[in-house]
Amino acid sequence: MTSDCSDAATSDGVPLAVRSAVRLSVKPVVGEYPRTQAMPVTGPLIDAYGRVHSDLRISVTDRCNLRCVYCMPEDGMTFLAREDLLSFEEIARVARVARGLGVTSVRLTGGEPLVRKGLVDLVAMIAEVGFDDIAMTTNGVHLAAHAEALRAAGLARVNISCDSLRPDRFGEIRRRGHLATVLDAMVAAEAAGLTPLKVNVVLLRGRNDDEILDFAAFARDSGRLVRFIEFMPLDAQGQWDRDQLVPGREVFETINARWPLTPLDDPSRIAPAERFGFVDATGEIGLISSVTEPFCGTCNRLRLTAEGSVRNCLFSDDEMSVRDVVRGGGRDEEIVTLLRRAVWSKFPGHAINEVNFLAPRRSMSMIGG
């Protein structure tokens, strides 16, 4: 890996500097792992391709106070009934069992996690289990009011979603809420020590793709990490199409041409974002190119939906109900077996780029992003 700035070009005409700076060519491809024979009954959570799962995404609600165009329709979403949600005690129990299987990091998400009452209490219960990292992805609307308490309860850091730096456009994309509130939330999160702060941006062709350099300047000025996420076929409206997504490579080229970027080491190669620093400034850029450059080969993530289904991939409809086990009086060993089975049955990759790909039945906010 190098940040070579030579003018040489590869056979497809892409400048060598660009090709070599982008990490994708060194990622393991799906299928590279040997397929093992039988599901292990001891040791870490491992799938049939050898991927060890150490990251649990917990959705605490499918509800949200915003209606982002790439996630939900403006009207007509139906939400889970209160009694269908896992209780905090049930979530903490599953988290504890997962911890015993080698899960070291937890991310709270949704829907919007901060619309669930008492979230601070849940953070404290999860922190008590003893994870290396507890993070949350939030739209930021209610964050400023709770940042201090969340930090005190054991939340380590937050990712805040913000798709435009222009107030009117922010309103068009997220449909509700205000840019100023979210910018204030970033300041409050940093003041509370919920760092490093990451800012998530979903780019949509023709809507906010002219803000790539504005967001890069924002990263440089603030020292924050701005992560550009490719639009995925997970919108509840089912209107995704490839023409609307902005490839990570295009984002890289746009920024690198203005402010040269240098790859940042990620020895684990597990994090989905390819990270780049600026040669001449602080701040970071992350590219989450889930569609054009899938990172399934290193996926270590497992999901728990708000109503207690364990899901091994955003793009797989296969779910196993841990809620049934828990509410049926199941022992911890039964939760262990369910988690092992869920992970073991994981597909090698998401297949978005296959001709017969079908979008999953449930959308991002119903699964937990």
Among 54, 139, 289, 305, binds ligand SAM (CB under 6 A): 139
Which of these, 238, 222, 126, lies nearest to 165 by C-alpha position? 222
Stretch that binds ligand SAM, among 64-72, 119-127, 246-254, 273-281 (CB under 6 A): 64-72
Given the rule CB under 6 A, which of 21-29, 132-140, 303-311, 342-350 is the region that contacts ligand SAM? 132-140
Cβ-defined contacts of 275-279 (< 8 Å, 24+): 275/225, 276/21, 276/252, 278/219, 278/220, 279/3
234-258 b/e (C-beta count within 10 Å ≥ 16 → b): bbbeeebeeebbbbbbbbbbbbbee
Q: What angle do CA 122, 124, 128 make, to 5 degrees?
A: 115
Task: Give the span between the Cα atoms of 271 and 288, in whole angstroms.
Answer: 9
244 binds, among ligand SF4, ligand SAM, none (CB under 5 to 8 A by kind): none
Sketch the per residue contact string, 235 through 254, with ligand SAM: x for CB under 6 A, - otherwise: x-------------------
CB 284 within 8 A of CB 35: no
> CB of residue 4 vs ligand SAM: minimum separation in angstroms?
31
Closer of 20 and 109 to ligand SAM (Cβ): 109
Verify binding: residue 231, ligand SAM, rule CB under 6 A. yes
Q: Quick check: 253 and 229 in contact, CB under 8 A?
A: no
Q: Burial-class residue 330 by CB neighbours within 10 Å (0-12, 13-18, 19+).
A: middle
Cβ-contact 291, 345 below 8 angstroms = no
When the beta carbons of 5 and 165 are compared against ligand SF4, the nearer one is 165
Name the residue nearer to ligand SAM (CB basis): 92 or 367.
Answer: 367
Partner interacting with residue 67 (select from ligand SAM, ligand SF4, none; CB below 5-8 Å by kind): ligand SF4
Q: Which residues bind ligand SF4 (CB under 6 A)?
A: 64, 66-68, 71-72, 110-112, 139, 161, 365
Count of residues that interact with ligand SAM, criterion CB under 6 A: 20
Cβ at position 156, least distance to ligand SAM in Å: 16
State the binding string over 76-115 for ligand SAM (x if CB under 6 A, else -).
---------------------------------xx-x---
Residue 364, interface with ligand SAM (CB under 6 A)? yes
Residue 307 interacts with which of ligand SAM, ligand SF4, none, CB < 5 to 8 Å by class: none
Edge-first strand order for the sheet with 284-288 is: 261-263, 274-278, 284-288, 225-230, 198-203, 157-161, 133-138, 105-109, 55-59, 301-304, 309-311, 319-321
Could you list the residues that contact ligand SAM (CB under 6 A)? 64, 70-71, 109-110, 112, 137-139, 161, 200, 202, 229, 231-232, 234-235, 364-365, 369
